[in-house]
Structure 1
Amino acid sequence: MGFSVLTHPVAPRRDDPASDSLRLIQVGAGGMGRTWLSAIEANPDVELVGLVDLNTATAQAAASASGLDGLPIAGSLAGLLAEGVSADAVVNVTVPRAHHSVNTAALSAGLPVLCEKPLSESIAECLSMVAAAEQASSLLMVSQSRRYWRAVTALRGQLSLLGDVSSASCRFFKAPRFGGFRDEMPYPLLIDMAIHQFDLARYLIGAEPTAVFCHSYNPSWSWYAGDAAASAIFEFGENATFTFDGSWCAPGQETSWNGDWRFSAAEGSASWDGDSAPTAENAVGQALPADLRDEPEEVAGSLAEFVATLRQRESGAAGTPNGEAHTNVMSVAMVEAAVTSARTGRQVLLADVIEAGYRGALESEQDPGIRDVLASWSSVLDRVGLTG
């Protein structure tokens, strides 16, 4: 279960960046859309050539606020492309329920996609998009931006020196008062937040989860309609366990938004408070340094790796970035499996969740070409990296 340390690739600089920039269309111009506009503007290896939003006034306001007056704007990706805008890739910052339609439209137009998390709210749609990427022979990458904290890279480096991880735990306690749709969700913590910690567990343990038991509940003082707290135990094969204990209505002594982590490994232990540099100690009590590298963080890190991967592929090199759609399905599956366990009160196997999603994808897929790709898979579990 040990792993080698991977650094996030950064796109090589060009002698003439203006002539060789990756031309991007961004779809989605809301609050998170403005965050992405800033990241794109700050990256010298990309150029924004168009902005899409169902509400073109929202897009125009976001463009103007970013100093992008005159940027081509449309209410749909198809509409922008029909206007003759030429691009190399799409950044999808729409709401999750729109990810499938936007991503498949971009892929069918020959454009690789960097998509905000989660890839989808259902495994069936995730698998449909994976098949669409295969049909297009193109890259579909999900921005799991918390993998790009410098502290996370340092923590992976420390864990690589400590051998196989046997147990990992994350405590997450916050008390945000969002208002709006989160207040009405049946499982707001699990569905809207926990994918960050679940995905980091996969990344830091260096293995895939196989089963989960989850108990969710709602404290008497909660301002959420659905369960705002949960405890989950994930099995990672036979030799590793990840426990998550969290709440979104826990005022006082709050943790970082990244959570508070501890790892026990064959040759020592490591911990991270979610904000500071991680700490680690080997079996003889020797402290291991945290190598905090000067790398782009959060969405800037996602964007840099997306660009670097596309450049690698252009040169004929293999490139599989963090968040590539095939493997990212497992992070969505962790959420779905935890919710199913909380609802049923029983342990849930991740393989069962994936296989049920695959059957749903085959039954619901409307595109004959994508359905043919789905049907060609000899094992959906192999496809998402759960076996083999």
Structure 2
Amino acid sequence: MAKGWVKAISADRGLRETIRIVGLVDVNLDAARMLAGEFNLGDVVIGSDLEAVLAQTQPDILFDVVVPSARVEVVAAGLRHGCHVLSEKPMATSLEDGHELVRMAAETGKLHAIVQNRRFVPGIRRIRSFIESGAIGDLTSIHCDFFIGAHFGGFREEMEHVLLLDMAIHTFDAARFIADKKPIAVYCREENPRGSWYAHGAAATAIFEMADDVTFTYRGSWCAEGANTSWESEWRIIGTRGTLLWDGADEFRAKKVAGTEGFLRKLTPIKVPAPTDRRRTQGHASVIADFVSAIHDGGKPETAGDDNINSLAMVFAAIESARSRQRVIIE
């Protein structure tokens, strides 16, 4: 994932002019050297001791692209050295650790935010604006399907709750952003289907209760071969006057009620306008740019930890529901 971050910075003119990478830390030094060479990072400091490299380079920002189990230690080190920290998702491997990260950021006066890059794709911004326009009336429900046969190898195939913790967080966060509603409770069933190459929890089905009687449902699997959805999931957004469908790629279809008679009411198509702010639709580059702008302007990034913990809470409530087979209130 570090390569994806460096690629996003290198490909964006504004970020190239703002960010200079001064150090790379990896338990595998050869991997760090290869990354530095691939992107011509020049006289960058390379090491395996995070504290030592931070002390030597004294950076303004630490990009935390480690496995989730190392998150708290790495973020804490960055904050201690006076860095603002931008972390990969998930924010933490427990809600308690998530709260600790929020506390540490507040105590040090530094920003800590999470790369929820999928809320910065054009489709998600487009849906949020469309709902806000009132084109299909008041939002009543959001339904998402995510089915991909993903063969990663590595740590994901050994994780517990791998779909919920490592991937569903994207869809949960995007749904919370689209709905602009507080999550209240969840009922979830988790499974590891026959034929799965994961150790645990490669599939899940969840029903979330959101504020204002909005329902969000999620069906997902990382070991579903034969008919992959988009990585962004397939979406059905229902309002009091119509429905929006998004295939997770380029196809948007929306219709609203246009008649008052008949068993099935007459419908009329609605145009779903494209987003107008291109700077907020570039995935990783947009998250990083939002983070850097907040540092410069003294503001708050959209994916700051004290907000993103609400999406993390959805994940852990779903995990607890799957364990207990009970409806769980989201703290």
Distance (Å, rounded) in 2 between the aligned partners of 1:93 and 1:40: 14
Q: 2:270 aligns with which of 278, 284, 287?
A: 287
Q: CA deviation at 1:309?
A: 1.2
Distance (Å, rounded) in 2 between the aligned partners of 1:286 and 1:147: 26
Distance (Å, rounded) in 1 between the aligned partners of 2:272 and 2:203: 34
Distance (Å, rounded) in 2 between the aligned partners of 1:177 and 1:150: 27
Distance (Å, rounded) in 2 between the aligned partners of 1:180 and 1:57: 18
Cα deviation 1:104-124 (Å, max 9, x = unaligned): 121122211111111111111
Q: What SS does structure 1 have at the residue aligned with 2:199?
A: coil
TM-score, normalization by structure 2: 0.89
Q: 1:202 aligns with which of 147, 160, 176?
A: 176
Q: CA deviation at 1:279?
A: 3.3
Q: What SS does structure 1 have at the residue aligned with 2:20?
A: strand
TM-score, normalization by structure 1: 0.77
Label 1:223 to 1:55 Cα distance change in 2 as closer, same or farther (>3 A): closer
Q: CA deviation at 1:331?
A: 1.2
Distance (Å, rounded) in 1 between the aligned partners of 2:251 and 2:325: 37
Question: Any stretches of 5+ residues in structure 2 without a counterpart?
Answer: 259-267
Q: What SS does structure 2 have at the residue aligned with 1:51?
A: strand
CA contact (8 A) 1:233 1:244 kept: yes
Q: Which residue of 1 aligns with 2:284?
A: 299
Label 1:59 to 1:184 Cα distance change in 2 as closer, same or farther (>3 A): closer
Q: CA deviation at 1:137?
A: 1.2
Label 1:278 to 1:324 Cα distance change in 2 as closer, same or farther (>3 A): farther
Cα deviation 1:236-293 (Å, max 9, x = unaligned): 0351110001112222222111100011123432221111153333443351332244
1:80-229 pair list within 5 angstroms: 80-83=53-56, 85-162=57-134, 163-229=137-203
Q: Which residue of 2 aligns with 1:245?
A: 219
Distance (Å, rounded) in 2 between the aligned partners of 1:211 and 1:221: 31
Distance (Å, rounded) in 1 between the aligned partners of 2:257 and 2:20: 49
1:323-338 pair list within 5 angstroms: 323-338=303-318
CA contact (8 A) 2:33 2:46 kept: yes
Calculate percent identity across the aligned residue pairs: 37
Q: CA deviation at 1:87?
A: 2.2
Equivalent position amino acid for 2:188 in 1: C
Aligned alpha-carbon RMSD (Å)? 1.8
Q: 2:5 aligns with which of 15, 36, 57?
A: 36
Q: CA deviation at 1:41?
A: 2.3
Equivalent position amino acid for 1:34 in 2: K
Q: CA deviation at 1:64?
A: 1.2
CA contact (8 A) 1:269 1:282 kept: yes
Question: Any stretches of 5+ residues in structure 1 without a counterpart?
Answer: 1-31, 314-318, 352-388
Distance (Å, rounded) in 1 between the aligned partners of 2:214 and 2:325: 22
Q: Which residue of 1 aligns with 2:293?
A: 308
* Alignment: residue pair count: 314
